[in-house]
Structure 1
Amino acid sequence: MSQEPMICSFFLFLVLSYGAAGHEVPNSRQDLHPLLQKMAEEIIDGSYLNALLDLIQFQRSHVWTEDLSHRILAYLNSRNVAFTIPSLQAAVENHLEQCLYQPQNLLEDLRKTDAQQFRTAMKCLLEDKKDRLDLKDIVIDVGEIREQALQSPGVNRSLFLITLERCFQVLNSLECVEILGRVLRGSSGSFLQPDITERLPRDLREDAFKNLSAVFKDLYDQTSAHSQRALYSWMTEILQTSSNATDDFASWVSAENLWILGRYMVHLSFEEIMKISPVEIGLFISYDNATKQLDTVYDITPELAQAFLERISSSSFNMRNTSTIHRLGLLVCFYDDLELLDAAVAQVLLHQMIKCSHLRGFQADVQKLKAELLDIATENQTLNETLGSLSDAVVGLTYDQLESLSPEAVHGAISTLNQVSGWAKSQVIILSAKYLTHEKVLSLSSVSQLGTLLTGVSTQAFCSMDRRDLSQVLRSTISQHVSDLSPTQQQGVLSKMIGAGDIASGLVEIQGSFFKEVSLFDLWREPGFNSTVLKEKELRRSQALFLYELLLKTTRRPEELLSTGQLVKGVTCSHIDAISTDSFLAHFQDFENNLSLLSPYQVNCLAWKYWEVSRSSMPPFLLAALPARYLASIPASQCVPFLISLGKSQLDSLVLDSHKKTLVLRKVQQCLDDSIADEYTVDIVGSLLCHLPATIIDRGISPRAWPTALHGLRDCPDLSPEQKTAVRLKLLGQYGFPQNWTAETTKDLGSFLVLFSGDELSSIATKFPEILQQTASKMAGTLPPKEFLWAVFESVSNSSDKSPSSDPIPGCHGVMAPSSDDISKLAEANACWALEDLLCLEEDTFIRNVELLGAVRGFSWPQLMSLKEKAIQVWDMPSYWKEHHIVSLGRIALALNESELEQLNLSSIDTVASLSQQTEWTPRQAKSILQGFLDDSGYNIQDLKSFHLVGLGATLCAMNITEIPLIKISEFRVVVARIGTLLCSAHVLTEFKRKAEVVFGDPTKWTSSVLQELGTIAAGLTKAELRMLDKDLMPYFQPSAIKCFPDEIFKELSAEQIASLGPENAAAVTLAQRRQLSVLQLQSLQRALDGAKTHSWQEAPASFSPTGTPSSRSPPGTPICWGLWLGCPLLVPMAKALW
């Protein structure tokens, strides 16, 4: 929240206290400027914000002299106001808390300001310059105050409301619109509720109206459908009032009004569009910025788009002219005048349609139009001749069409093909192979041309490249696509870059997330690192642990390492312990800025350190990382800062134990008094809203707070069944039953639609099928409830115009086989097809959609078997399948039995890598894949390279324990981290652990970075080895390793070792492992879950009373303000300058 009231009040206090401390206050009253007299009276009245505004106003027109502080004090004394520094400080802090933690009080304060004070406040918000008030020894940073205010939801809300209420009466409308724009852009659209339009002015000057409309256009995507409709009504009311239209037949929609509406033009009705005069629509299309505007109408419907196209056609513009087509923006996605269209125009249309992927929905219709245009564009010409002119319509080409292309044609069209997005993996493989056939040798020049097709290059081809060329590739623009390579391909590149011997230059050139693939062993071999080299690299935790320790030995200022982003992952508790108090407090911001990179254990260590050295100024969210009993010591007066701080963090990653989370939430409920009274409280709780119990959602959120709360709940990733039920009941109470919902309501509910039953959604599937399908498409990567998927399926079935084939597949008579349109619209809802529907897929439909079907997570085993049978029907027996066939199958491949897997050509490690991405193989299937690769490639176990091991993935778990020792140590050691992600059986992990001993030495000598690097391999430790490990290493097991320990081995850990596991690893202990533990061990486990102290400090009592004098715990001049923590960082440098 904003520091404005706090800094304001604090500096008024400093002005006075400086005068009191440094000068003798005169006994007699002295003359004061009227504005400063007024300021002094406001100090007496406790109106500190008013006083600050008067001070700012005075300083802007007068020079501040040293004697002014004494004269103000003299004036206060002459008014018989007796005060002490402590009493004034207490009054200031009380007011500070009201403004900082109850922004509605700030709203009231601003309402009470006079016109001049309000003008000053608004002017402060308007200015861009880094405005600082220099009062000799005192500096008030107005620019910083403004920046902080505009970043706080609660203060922003108050500023937004007061601007609507008063600004247009005090400042000119252009200035007020600018202020509204600044405030709204920091609000994520949540302030723009439908009823807000009632407060918007309707008598704005034309230029101010245009500017405010532009603000609303910028926030369009963050605004709810109801609010969009309300804002559209406000805009059109003003536009219609100023229009010259005199009767019902004349349209108020002029070219300029269309431009002002911007994206809101999609809310025009069909009738209004059809009334637009040809002259006005022609004038609009001729605007230079019309295309840019039409490029952004992402939510336009086919009906409205075709209405606009018809009106444009009625003007003087030729719809088949290239210049006109270029101006149509997203309207081109609905172009329907295909009769007698020539090939050249079709190619122009296809080129423009590359932007249609931005449309919200209707993608199946777009693909159908592209297919028709593709046929026209290639009429009387071969694909080889037209390939470079087909834009992204080439994505619609089948395997057979792609395979028929000549290498020369692919080479000639590469500048088009390399920019196309939306390629299927199998298509990329075919096109890359064609291109490289023409190029013969993979060089810097040829690779640089591949663009998005880079991922189709085989791992072996990368390994065959000249190292210097590969090095230049990593420095060129094509490197942006390196992160899209598979782990197998990346390891192939690494083996070439680093394996050649020049490790130092290789490590420098590897950037971004690619660096995470570098092995710990290779880092060991290159001691010459510096923190500057690491700034653009992402690190695994094992890399960070090693590098932080390494760099710590060569730097004189350890705190500098904290600013190197990813290195913070490698800070251990002992490192935190070793940081001096002053340095820790001064550099804590580096930890906080990288909070998402820290493990729960690191956060726990930070919490204990802060508690020990400066608990009075401790960021409240850190309390959640301490044992739950520490929460009890939070006084009611500090609830709001606690809620704000915790609401800005991610509770699920901060507190992993369900019991402890319950206790934390109990404190949250206590602070809230089990209710959310208004929208300001929603601002305060932030992400905690996602964790509030169903009872509060159901009965504790007031009607006033509900719209804002609903906006926040929409972003919650994982509501409980009880919370979902409560939200559903609230929505039914607010909007009624689904059969009565409007299109706007359905759009606004979005992801909440999954909360409703199939019966409730049935009417939505009928009334608003497109909205339902668009909602489903936004859920890619999730598995929605079955009833929701059935509703989506119903919506597609209802709108499908397919009929039984006139030449059906045998056994498919009367069956409505799925069409390509159906499959693309359904996405995850394809899981609702009956077995006979899938078996009756037409050959072309299967070929075009196999990758889409292979990505459906909800298919049952019988459905996968049906699709496998269809693949055999279309492509013949598995022995005939090529790499692109196998890669395209996705989950369908899981239905292949051992015999069928043995028939596959698995000579390419990239083919095997695509299969190993699936995690549901049986041990026998995995063994078949492993053996198939060895047989088809001709490799023995001892021949396997590092990239082979990465590509084999989970199939390595199918190795016999006699085979694992045959793996070369030189290859194994560079992919340990990858193998450590596998969830193999205990005996396999034991064998991998034995190999790890050859690389990293005796387990009793392993460091935190080694243990972290090993991952699940560490679960292969024996009982004796586990007992020998230092307790301080316990937090550096990966949670996946903890889960993999056999129960009988895990129980060998001592109580002290278990207590040292840390919160994350303690949460990973399985129920079966728990059952084997003694009472003492279970108590230790609970201590670890609770975040109890395990390192060197003695655990302090759970009390917030300071642990020493302020000067002994923090730098001189640092305010003691635990409750006011959010503002302390701003005060420190300024206070130090004074004292």
Structure 2
Amino acid sequence: MRSAVLFVLLAAGLVRQAQPQRPTRQIPARPTAPSIDPDVTSGITAAFGDTSALEHSSVAKFINSQAADSSIIQALKGDIELDAISTNDFKMIPGNLLTKLTDSEFEKITSDQIVAWVLRKNNQFDLEQLDVLSVRVEQAKFVEVLTKMKDAAEISDPASVSAATLQSLAGSLSELQPDEIENLSEEAVVGAITELAGEGFTGADARALIDKYKSGAAVSGALSAAQLSALGSLAGKLPTADIDQMSDADVRSSISTFASAKSEMSPQQIKKITKKARNGNLLDQLASASDEIDSFFDAVPLKDLEDNGDGIAADVANGDYSKYSDLPMTDAQAALLFGKMEEGLSELDRDTVISMGNAVAGATPATLDKVSNDNFREVINALSDQADFDSKMYRKMAKRLKEIRDSSSAELSQTDLDTIPADVIPDMSTDDLGNVAAALCEGVAQKVASSERLFETQEIRQQKHATNALRCLGKETSGDLGESDVATMGNLICGAEDAVLDRVDASGARTALENLQNCPTKCLSEDRKTKIQELFETYTANADASSMDAEALSTIGLYAYVLSDDFISGIPNDVFSQAVSLADSVDVVAEEQLAVQDSGCGIDRTAMFNKIKEATTGSSGSRRRRQATVYTCTQVQNLGNAAVSLTTAELSAMTSAEFTNCLEFLGGLTGWSTAQLELMRDRVFSDIAAAGSLTTDQIFKLGKIATAFTTTHLSALDLSDIDAVYNIAQHSGYSAAQAEAAFTRYLGSTAVSAISSEHLVGLSNFLGGMTTAQIAQIDSTAFTDSVANIGNLTVFSTDQFTALKEKAVSASGATSSWSAATVTNVGTVAAGLTEAELTALTDAQVPAITPGAIALIPGSTLANGLSTAQLNLLSMEQAQAVTNDQYSALSTDQKAAVDLAQYGPDDVADAPPRSGVSAVHACVMLVFSAVLIRLL
């Protein structure tokens, strides 16, 4: 926050660079401080906490130089407040006197007084002192100080800042505002590129610095490997078009630079780098010591692996999997590779599993049949340590463990408990776990509660585990739950019935509230909200809002929204200002999806976000306020996710410069209302440019705001930059007409057959604007290279899904010939399968259909296509993806098969009905939907 203006302050001479300390041979003697009138000393000691400040010679001399009735002496004695000292007098106070003031006294100093003191050059204010200042005053006051200092700067043009000045600010440059970055000189950027590259710039700011570097370094064409290396982490935002210009050899020699910035890249950049890095035979390249493709292996098309199937089989025939074990890989790639590794194995042991590395993610329940009973525990521990699996895998692991134990008539022992993988225990029989020896029951409860997979099981199972824990504590139906009881339950409290929360006493309330914050995002009933609110009241002993402290607020955390609006409003601002991070902890995507699925979901954070806004910026949310607060971009950014609470009036009141600076931040948030998005869209046109005049760099910043553009607006945009296209297309919320307008504009006079794979990836949701005839024209190679990304999209109509499936058939052969890996790889494209194609799917293919594809298959097609026997093959994740409309179209036997797959034999009899959107179904569908959105 402060660094955004430091270079201006340095350039203006308002802040000096802190000078390095030089070693001295001996500590110089401190001058003896002159004596101070005892009456004055006794009067001012309270302001400093003790008399140590008065031991400084300069402080004592200054105090002695002041008249007894001076405002400074009066303030230090407490006769008047510090803020009553005029700025002309205040700026004369020695710095080592100010720094000795107690925190309560220091906080009384006004921003105008601080600025006046800083502007006095004799005070020689430097960066170290600025850091001290930043922690001794409230954030809002510090922002005021920096803003006023910047306004007072004699040199406000960033173009005059040198490379040396930028270098001196290393570690604090990443918060420069966009307009400041745009005005930096090219020479300064080139000279300080090493420091800038290490600052973590992202998005449009990184692109702007890259452009300045290229221009300053006279790069007229492609970047060389050396120049790319200089960009460091900025390479994560190197435009796809620039990557395309680089020679394939330079891309390969720069692969380590690209790999270090991969997490900041968009999928089309990754696709382009992978294509250019490929050189000759894939398997030979993987075996090379240069690691030219390894880091980007998960972007290698599955077809490349399928075409090298025989070579892969030969590579692993001798049990050496080292070429593949450490590669990042998709589920489809793992399925193919593991299948090749498994072909020659009659038995699977722990060492083999470990040597397979990441490829074990492709293991299936049938794989467990190759594990002997003697080795079973150690093998499944190795499997669960190296990969995540679906419920069918964990349920089979749990079933085998029970069979092994039953075969020896042995009860669950401590050794068993210690060696059961944490991922498996939630799927073990709740009846069996509820009947363990008394000495083990608390250990069982704690291990189940600590499992990361607990929340991936059905809610009815979570409830049963919670009941087991209560029974173990001897408090299944009654009895107060104290701190130790709640600690034993841990995350199992998420599955506990509402009545259980009533029994938590004051000693356990805090732990219960903290554990509840670990629960997955879901809609809460009004009763549940009331119970959480009452639990908070128990913890705080019904204290008034005005007496809340930061610790109490952090204890209820993300559930603060269940408190009444009046209570939230009454919490002191200085307390709520410490909770700004709460806004950034909100899973906005998940909550948006819940609201879509259930309009009555009831997660309303308006009051919470408004309070964060008020506490952070000092603005009041009162309805009596007649004028909207004028926010700076820095203030808006400091709000984090809570910025979506800005009203249309407040968004409208931002100055043109501040709104423009904040465009990318605002466009990167989700959770905006239609009215807010339309207001920001109109401000884009009034403050920046009309739709047809927006540059690709400006379009890159629009993000979510572009979803409010009309078809006319979208038809006018310059969509020649695929990175800018992706930055707006990746967001959900476009209608079919909007997607068609955008795709048509992107295509222009270009033939569909000429669209490259990286552009198919970058078009994202805009592909939903293609006609079925256009889908048929997609180049087959480009389609197979990008189908894994296209298969993450959900925006297509039934006819479009059919056309996409036909394109997959033309590229990869009839669906009957598809491997399980191919079925997984095409993702949602499988939603285009016909009834006959679904009926013909094999026992290996059915489990490979992604949950996303299942949810998009028309109800009648699903009911007529998949038999009861095939539905029995579904995993929990697949079964819970079946929508209520699809479920209603199934026969009684088919419904029973889906229920059994979703809940398992132990819980199916207790499963809630499917009428309406059940809480269980909505929650698990949310997880699926949120994951899909993040992939787009």
Q: TM-score, normalised by structure 2?
A: 0.74
**Structure 1 residues 380 and 612 mapped into 2: Cα distance closer, same or farther (>3 Å)?**
closer
**Structure 1 residues 338 and 846 mapped into 2: Cα distance closer, same or farther (>3 Å)?**
farther
For residues 380-439 of structure 1, the C-alpha deviation after alignment (integer angstroms, 9 at most, x for no partner) is 876254255243665565555544444333212212221223x45222222212212333
**Structure 1 residues 317 and 644 mapped into 2: Cα distance closer, same or farther (>3 Å)?**
closer
**Structure 1 residues 424 and 371 mapped into 2: Cα distance closer, same or farther (>3 Å)?**
farther
Asked if 2 retains the 8 angstrom alpha-carbon contact of 1:462 and 1:493, the reply is yes
Alignment match, 1:313: 95
Give the deviation of 1:730 after TM superposition.
2.0
For residues 661-692 of structure 1, the C-alpha deviation after alignment (integer angstroms, 9 at most, x for no partner) is 44444444444433574444344333213322
User: Quick one: which of 390, 396, 401 aligns to 1:605?
Assistant: 396
SS at match of 1:1031: coil
Task: Give unpaired runs (5+ residues) of structure 1.
Answer: 1-246, 252-268, 283-302, 304-308, 320-331, 803-811, 1094-1139
Alignment match, 1:730: 535
Asked if 1 retains the 8 angstrom alpha-carbon contact of 2:426 and 2:451, the reply is no
Counterpart mapping for 1:446-485 below 5 A: 446-476=227-257, 479-485=259-265
User: Would you say 1:497 and 2:277 are equivalent positions?
Assistant: yes
Q: Residues of 2 paired with 1:990 and 1:861: CA distance?
A: 32
Alignment match, 2:817: 1005
User: Quick one: which of 423, 443, 446 aligns to 1:644?
Assistant: 446
User: Would you say 1:713 and 2:516 are equivalent positions?
Assistant: yes
**Structure 1 residues 1046 and 534 mapped into 2: Cα distance closer, same or farther (>3 Å)?**
same
Aligned amino acid, residue 792 of structure 1 = I
Q: Residues of 1 paired with 2:621 and 2:296: CA distance?
A: 47
Alignment match, 2:571: 764
Asked if 1 retains the 8 angstrom alpha-carbon contact of 2:347 and 2:370, the reply is no
Asked if 2 retains the 8 angstrom alpha-carbon contact of 1:1034 and 1:1061, the reply is yes
Give the deviation of 1:1017 after TM superposition.
1.0
User: Would you say 1:545 and 2:335 are equivalent positions?
Assistant: yes
User: Quick one: which of 515, 519, 524 aligns to 2:306?
Assistant: 524
**Structure 1 residues 711 and 434 mapped into 2: Cα distance closer, same or farther (>3 Å)?**
same
Q: Residues of 2 paired with 1:980 and 1:918: CA distance?
A: 16
Alignment match, 1:48: none
Alignment match, 1:1121: none
**Structure 1 residues 592 and 393 mapped into 2: Cα distance closer, same or farther (>3 Å)?**
closer
User: Would you say 1:962 and 2:743 are equivalent positions?
Assistant: no
SS at match of 2:874: coil
**Structure 1 residues 513 and 776 mapped into 2: Cα distance closer, same or farther (>3 Å)?**
farther
Give the deviation of 1:771 after TM superposition.
2.8
Q: Residues of 2 paired with 1:354 and 1:386: CA distance?
A: 26
Asked if 2 retains the 8 angstrom alpha-carbon contact of 1:850 and 1:889, the reply is yes
Counterpart mapping for 1:94-243 below 5 A: none
User: Quick one: which of 471, 484, 488 aligns to 1:684?
Assistant: 488
**Structure 1 residues 744 and 830 mapped into 2: Cα distance closer, same or farther (>3 Å)?**
closer
Asked if 2 retains the 8 angstrom alpha-carbon contact of 1:881 and 1:904, the reply is yes
Aligned pair count reads: 775
SS at match of 1:539: coil
**Structure 1 residues 450 and 743 mapped into 2: Cα distance closer, same or farther (>3 Å)?**
same
User: Quick one: which of 762, 772, 787 aligns to 1:951?
Assistant: 762
Give the deviation of 1:643 after TM superposition.
1.3
Which deviates more from structure 2 when the two are superposed, residues 1076-1085 or residues 634-643? 634-643
Counterpart mapping for 1:643-682 below 5 A: 643-656=445-458, 658-672=459-473, 673-674=475-476, 677-682=481-486
Alignment match, 1:1026: 838
**Structure 1 residues 791 and 483 mapped into 2: Cα distance closer, same or farther (>3 Å)?**
closer
**Structure 1 residues 667 and 916 mapped into 2: Cα distance closer, same or farther (>3 Å)?**
same
Q: Residues of 2 paired with 1:1011 and 1:825: CA distance?
A: 45
Counterpart mapping for 1:1047-1062 below 5 A: 1047-1052=859-864, 1053-1062=866-875
Q: Residues of 1 paired with 2:372 and 2:186: CA distance?
A: 65
Q: Percent of aligned pairs with the same residue?
A: 22
Aligned amino acid, residue 443 of structure 1 = S
Q: Residues of 2 paired with 1:345 and 1:568: CA distance?
A: 63
User: Would you say 1:389 and 2:209 are equivalent positions?
Assistant: no
CA RMSD of aligned residues (A): 4.2
Alignment match, 1:909: 722
User: Would you say 1:420 and 2:199 are equivalent positions?
Assistant: yes
Counterpart mapping for 1:17-56 below 5 A: none
Asked if 1 retains the 8 angstrom alpha-carbon contact of 2:482 and 2:505, the reply is yes
Q: Residues of 1 paired with 2:122 and 2:152: CA distance?
A: 5
Q: Residues of 1 paired with 2:195 and 2:395: CA distance?
A: 52
Give the deviation of 1:363 after TM superposition.
5.7
SS at match of 1:818: coil
Aligned amino acid, residue 371 of structure 2 = I
Alignment match, 2:679: 866
Q: Residues of 2 paired with 1:715 and 1:271: CA distance?
A: 45
**Structure 1 residues 406 and 791 mapped into 2: Cα distance closer, same or farther (>3 Å)?**
closer
Alignment match, 1:114: none
SS at match of 1:1019: helix
Q: Residues of 2 paired with 1:1023 and 1:361: CA distance?
A: 68
Aligned amino acid, residue 762 of structure 1 = S
Alignment match, 2:64: none
Give the deviation of 1:872 after TM superposition.
0.8
Asked if 1 retains the 8 angstrom alpha-carbon contact of 2:182 and 2:208, the reply is yes
**Structure 1 residues 468 and 510 mapped into 2: Cα distance closer, same or farther (>3 Å)?**
closer
Asked if 2 retains the 8 angstrom alpha-carbon contact of 1:430 and 1:456, the reply is no
Task: Give unpaired runs (5+ residues) of structure 2.
Answer: 1-37, 59-82, 84-90, 102-110, 592-603, 907-936
For residues 983-1022 of structure 1, the C-alpha deviation after alignment (integer angstroms, 9 at most, x for no partner) is 1222211111122223433222322211111111111111
**Structure 1 residues 483 and 651 mapped into 2: Cα distance closer, same or farther (>3 Å)?**
closer
SS at match of 1:582: coil
Asked if 1 retains the 8 angstrom alpha-carbon contact of 2:509 and 2:538, the reply is no
**Structure 1 residues 874 and 1021 mapped into 2: Cα distance closer, same or farther (>3 Å)?**
same
Q: Residues of 2 paired with 1:534 and 1:372: CA distance?
A: 58
Which deviates more from structure 2 when the two are superposed, residues 860-869 or residues 408-417? 408-417
Give the deviation of 1:280 after TM superposition.
10
**Structure 1 residues 381 and 1021 mapped into 2: Cα distance closer, same or farther (>3 Å)?**
closer
Q: Residues of 2 paired with 1:351 and 1:909: CA distance?
A: 46
Alignment match, 1:989: 801
User: Quick one: which of 897, 900, 910 aligns to 1:1084?
Assistant: 897
Aligned amino acid, residue 494 of structure 1 = T
SS at match of 2:826: helix
Alignment match, 1:98: none
User: Quick one: which of 695, 705, 719 aligns to 2:499?
Assistant: 695
Q: Residues of 2 paired with 1:355 and 1:988: CA distance?
A: 60
For residues 42-61 of structure 1, the C-alpha deviation after alignment (integer angstroms, 9 at most, x for no partner) is xxxxxxxxxxxxxxxxxxxx
**Structure 1 residues 545 and 279 mapped into 2: Cα distance closer, same or farther (>3 Å)?**
farther
Q: Residues of 2 paired with 1:498 and 1:669: CA distance?
A: 58
For residues 319-359 of structure 1, the C-alpha deviation after alignment (integer angstroms, 9 at most, x for no partner) is 9xxxxxxxxxxxx9x9867633669978x629986998xx8
Alignment match, 2:547: 741
Select the structure of larger CA radius of gyration.
1
